[in-house]
């Protein structure tokens, strides 16, 4: 069985857990990207370093 087919079967059989895992992965990536922004870019999006670090340090499972 190909990995694509297995992946599709897993997605069909357990959509809620997969959705949760994808959300966690996305949140983790977004927080890592936020941590890499410099102060000028943070200012452009209306954040300061303290708020960005606080958000970036939150666990991936917390919204």
pTM over the 0.75 mark:
no
- What is the rounded distance in angstroms from the CA atom of residue 8 to the CA atom of residue 5? 5
The reported pLDDT for the residue numbered 23 is 93
The reported pLDDT for the residue numbered 5 is 61
Q: How far is CA 8 from CA 3, 5, 14, 19, in A?
A: 8, 5, 10, 13
For 3-59, how does the pLDDT look when each residue is reduced to its tens digit (9 = 90+)?
Answer: 666 666 555 566 788 889 999 999 999 999 999 999 999 999 999 999 999 999 999
The reported pLDDT for the residue numbered 15 is 75
The reported pLDDT for the residue numbered 37 is 98
All structural domains of the chain with their residue ranges: 24-63
């Amino acid at each position: 069985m190909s990995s694509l087919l297995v992946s599709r079967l897993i997605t069909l059989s357990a959509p809620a857990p997969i959705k949760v895992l994808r959300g966690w992965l996305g949140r983790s990536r977004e927080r890592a990207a936020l941590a890499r922004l410099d102060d000028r870019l943070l200012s452009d999006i209306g954040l300061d370093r303290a708020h960005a670090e606080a958000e970036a340090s939150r666990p991936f499972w917390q919204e």
